[in-house]
Every structure is written in C-alpha cells, then in structure tokens.
Amino acid sequence: GNFYVAAILDSLCKEFLSVNVSAILYLMNYEKYGRSTASAQYFLQLAGYLGIPVIAWNADNSGLERRASQSSLQLQLAPSLEHQTAAMLSILERYKWHQFSIVTSQIAGHDDFIQAVRERISDMQDTFKFTILSAILVTDPRHDLQELIKSESRVMLLYSTREEATSILSAATDQKITGENYVWVVTQSVIENLQTPSQFPVGMLGVHFDTSSESLVSEITTAIKVYAYGVEDFVNDPKNANRSLNTQLSCEVAGESRWSTGDLFFKYLKNVSVEGDQGKPNVEFTQDGVLKAAELKIMNLRPGVSKQLVWEERFNDEAPRPSSGESGFYDGIPGAAPGCHQHGAERQDEPRSALCKRRQAATAIGVDRVSTIRIREFIFKPTCPEPDLPVLHPASAEIARPQGTAFSGTTFAVRNHKLCQI
C-alpha cells in the first residue's frame, strides 16, 4: 500500500520481536493526517494483534480510528480527540453559547470528531444545553459552506488540517461568515505548530498542546516511567510468579504469533499512576487507555508586531490589552461578540456582547474525562463598554524513534515507583 505495509511488518518482525520486547514506546510529533497517520494506525493495530502493549504519544492521535485504538493494547499520552472536544465545548459553555455548527474536512477522524462532540453534549445535558444547528463535511468549500449560511450559525467548531482550514476559512471570509459576528473554534490539527496562514480570520479561538521536538522528548521520560511502574507492579504480584515478560514471539511459522501474557501486562500498565509535574495531576489512564486528565491551552489569533497573525495564549494572568472590536474574540476579550453589533440590536440565542459585564477567567483548561473541566482562574477586568473573568534496559522496551532523534543506551532501575538512572 501507499504507506509501505511490508516495511512496517518487516520492522516489527526484525527489530522488535527478535529482541523480545514486552512493550513498544511509540512517540511521533508529525501532524499531516495522511499516509503517516494511516501507517501509525496500521503499526498500532499490528502490535495489538501480536499482543504487545504500546505506550504512545502521537500528535496526530485524533486521526486514529477510535474503535481500533480502543480495541488495541494502547495507552495514549497525548491529549485525545475527546479531550479537545471537551475543551472546545467548555469555551462555549463559559460564554453561554448554546447553538453552534460543526465543520469538518475529510481529515482522518472526522466522523469520530462529530461523535465525540455529540457524546460530550449528552454528558453535559443536565448542566448545559447545546443545539447543533448543522454538521457539514466540506469537500468543496465555496459550495458546501452554503449550508452553513442557511443554518444562520454564528459559532463554528472546525476540525481539519491546517491546509484544509486555509481553504475553508478563505471561502468563509468571501461569503462573509467570518468577522465580528462569527466565532470559529478550531482543533490542534488546524493550529499545529502555531504558524499562521494569512487567510485565517483575526479572533479565531483554538485548543492547542505542544507538539515541538522538545515536548516530544520530554514525554519519553513519562513513557519510560509508565512502562517501568507497570513492570514493577507485574513482577511484585505473587500471582505472576510463573509468568514471564519474555514474549518469545516470531514471524516464522514455528513461533507463537500472539503474546499470551500481553493483555494481562497491559492491565498493569493501564493501572499505573505516575507523579505529575508540580501543580499537575498524576498521569493515569481510563479503561479506554486515554489520559484521565490532560492540559490544553486556549489560543486566540491576533495581529502581531508587523501585522502578522500570531496564536497567543489569551486566557492567562496577563493584563489584557484593549479590544479593536474586529472580531468576537480579540486579546481574550469578548468585545463585539458574534451576532451582536456594537451599535445594533442583539439577536436572541446568539453570543452576546453583554458578556463584557461578566468577569473573565482562566489559563489552560485541564480536561478530566471522568469528572469535569477544571479551570485555574485569574480574574481581571477587561476594557469593555460596560465596567463590571515508575532494573530496566532499553532493549526491554523498544522505542520507536522520531526521525532525527537519538537515545542513549541508558539503564534504569525502579525502586518504590521511582525511576532511577544507573
């Protein structure tokens, strides 16, 4: 196939099974949602078929098929699609925006995105009511956005690649569904590495997590701790006295084709609790293998120093700068909110400029899939019209290296759930 199926299978047989790995650490910060995502999906499914747990950190994990991911032996350290949709809807809830539309391209995971939004809405129905005015799959932006216009939606959730978003938002601007009367809230797949196409409208909001090489490398320690803590718990359990973490798998006919202990070992991995950084929750997983809690930054698109557009983390403790009133959100301040002209009548059931009366708050939104949205608040008054916001050797856990990244052959020991370098 297009993503070199034979090469992936050959790599698993020769580089992983030959050294009896009991887990694979798979970390990748590539965000193109095409062949690379398809190859990652195939790799993870093959590992699951072989019964080998995978501890992953994929920047493009939102493009992985949810059903396949949940049925595999995979732990995902990056924020999931569910985390992103929860954060997006929390923005809408905070500003009392009940009605919105969903816009997606044919990006991998677009159906899962819509389903995740619907599931989150269902989870929240007792506390906040949402109405989805339309859900549009865009293949021809200029034609397909007509349905969005007919829905009279003022708030849009967009899931696509950055390139696709450029075309969609360019067409949206031409059709006058961007600007002061509209708010577009986008996913990490649109923001990517914070570089901004000129076609993006000022005032956009988005959810973001760091996918830089530095961030990826920092996640290696977390992944090793998860594996190490899981090994320690497995080995220390008397019930496993006659079980081994030596897989003895082979791609040859004579060998075993699936590790019989893999599912059991995965349960130990899934139940670990790794101490978080200062002020952050411990790394723990749900039964689906996703993080119980993840941190996402809320970003706002605004003009930079030479009028170049920049993504800026707006909901923080910085003093706000005045709003230009060009869009619904600017500098994190709801100036002329979508659907409300500064000198005109407000439309019912649309975002309201009266939000300026409320106190604004927040830094990064911490998304806990099990319980609730946690927001660390910093209160400030904006400028508004009205005044009053875990002994391991590297060979025992093979690391799938991102291109250009090297790891030393460091040996670690685990003592009382503390990872020690030897």
pLDDT per position as a tens digit, 245-293? 999 888 876 667 889 999 999 999 999 999 988 888 899 999 999 999 9
pLDDT given for residue 62 in this prediction: 80
Taking 90 as the threshold, does the pLDDT of residue 394 lie above it?
no
Taking 90 as the threshold, does the pLDDT of residue 174 lie above it?
yes
pLDDT given for residue 193 in this prediction: 85
Taking 50 as the threshold, does the pLDDT of residue 413 lie above it?
no
Domain enclosing residue 221, as ranges: 5-79+212-293+396-415
Segment 227-239 shows an average pLDDT of 97
Within this chain, do residues 288 and 404 fall inside the same structural domain, yes or no?
A: yes
Question: Poorest-confidence range of 117-126, 247-256, 407-416?
Answer: 407-416
pLDDT per position as a tens digit, 305-329? 877 899 998 654 333 333 333 334 4
pLDDT given for residue 53 in this prediction: 96
Q: Which residue has the higher pLDDT, 260 or 366?
A: 260
Within this chain, do residues 401 and 278 fall inside the same structural domain, yes or no?
A: yes
Q: Which residue has the higher pLDDT, 348 or 30?
A: 30
Within this chain, do residues 12 and 72 fall inside the same structural domain, yes or no?
A: yes
Within this chain, do residues 124 and 246 fall inside the same structural domain, yes or no?
A: no
d(CA 70, CA 52): 14
Within this chain, do residues 116 and 94 fall inside the same structural domain, yes or no?
A: yes
Within this chain, do residues 27 and 150 fall inside the same structural domain, yes or no?
A: no
Q: Model-level pTM? A: 0.76
pLDDT per position as a tens digit, 12-48? 888 888 888 999 999 988 777 766 677 788 888 889 8
Nearby residues of 354 by Cβ (< 8 Å), 6 or more positions away: 337, 346, 386
Q: Which residue has the higher pLDDT, 91 or 386?
A: 91
Q: Annotate 31-63 with b (16+ C-beta within 10 A) or e (fewer).
A: bbbeebbbbbbbbbbbbbebbbbbbbbbbbbbb
pLDDT per position as a tens digit, 148-160? 999 999 999 999 9
Last residue of a domain, one of 156, 181, 208: 208
Last residue of a domain, one of 145, 176, 208: 208
Last residue of a domain, one of 147, 179, 208: 208
**Alpha-helix residue ranges (DSSP H) falling in 175-311:** 188-191, 213-236, 262-270
Report the percent of the chain where pLDDT is more than 70: 70
384 CB neighbour count, 10 Å cutoff: 20
Residue 342 lies in a domain: no
Q: Hey, what are 292's tokens?
A: 């119980």
Within this chain, do residues 111 and 216 fall inside the same structural domain, yes or no?
A: no
Parallel, antiparallel or unpaired: strands 418-421 and 412-415: antiparallel
Within this chain, do residues 273 and 240 fall inside the same structural domain, yes or no?
A: yes
Q: Which residue has the higher pLDDT, 348 or 178?
A: 178
Residue 220 lies in a domain: yes
**CATH for 272:** 3.40.50.2300
Taking 90 as the threshold, does the pLDDT of residue 105 lie above it?
yes
Residue 384 lies in a domain: no
pLDDT per position as a tens digit, 216-228? 898 999 999 999 9
pLDDT given for residue 15 in this prediction: 85
Q: What average pLDDT is seen over the chain?
A: 77
Domain count of the fold of the chain: 2
Within this chain, do residues 73 and 220 fall inside the same structural domain, yes or no?
A: yes
What region, left, alpha or beta, does residue 335 occupy, with left being phi > 0 and alpha being psi -120 to 50 degrees? alpha
pLDDT given for residue 3 in this prediction: 52
Within this chain, do residues 59 and 98 fall inside the same structural domain, yes or no?
A: no
d(CA 8, CA 263): 22
Residue 382 lies in a domain: no
Taking 90 as the threshold, does the pLDDT of residue 175 lie above it?
yes
pLDDT given for residue 253 in this prediction: 66
